[in-house]
Amino acid sequence: EAGVTQSPTHLIKTRGQQATLRCSPISGHTSVYWYQQALGLGLQFLLWYDEGEERNRGNFPPRFSGRQFPNYSSELNVNALELEDSALYLCASSWSLAGLYEQYFGPGTRLTVT
């Protein structure tokens, strides 16, 4: 069974630009989650999508947004990039009824903002 995949592996952007990160969940999983792992800040919950809808978002500004497509893959967009957005962005997926099931993580996208 293929795991969660993310692309690109690395992304280098300049401050003020926009970044788009992509995630494909495990086959059969309908929920997709995004987390930010920044140095010194640990793992922070960003967004949760299920069945194409945004179900919850963490304490991040609106320039962090995303969507989930009909095939359950997902995209995270970060607008007006700031230096502190540099981090590893992890996508995870699970069966629906999110609380009952573990989340399976992808390898991450390393975003560097210069």
Partner 1 sequence: AQSVAQPEDQVNVAEGNPLTVKCTYSVSGNPYLFWYVQYPNRGLQFLLKYITGDNLVKGSYGFEAEFNKSQTSFHLKKPSALVSDSALYFCAVRGSGNTGKLIFGQGTTLQVKP
Contact residues toward partner 1 (CB under 8 A) are 4, 6, 31, 33, 35, 42-43, 45, 48, 50, 55-56, 58, 90, 92, 97-100, 102-108
Give the other-Cβ count within 10 Å of 19's Cβ. 19
Of 1 and 102, which has the nearer Cβ to partner 1? 102
Of 17 and 112, which has the nearer Cβ to partner 1? 112
Nearest alpha carbon to residue 50 among 30, 80, 66? 30
User: Closest distance between partner 1 and the C-beta of residue 90, in Å?
Assistant: 6
Question: Exposed, middle or buried: residue 38 (CB in 10 Å: 0-12, 13-18, 19+)?
Answer: middle
CA torsion through residues 62, 46, 99, 32, sign = positive
User: Closest distance between partner 1 and the C-beta of residue 16, in Å?
Assistant: 27
User: Closest distance between partner 1 and the C-beta of residue 97, in Å?
Assistant: 7
Of 14 and 40, which has the nearer Cβ to partner 1? 40
Of 41 and 80, which has the nearer Cβ to partner 1? 41
- d(Cα 75, Cα 77) in Å, to the nearest integer? 6
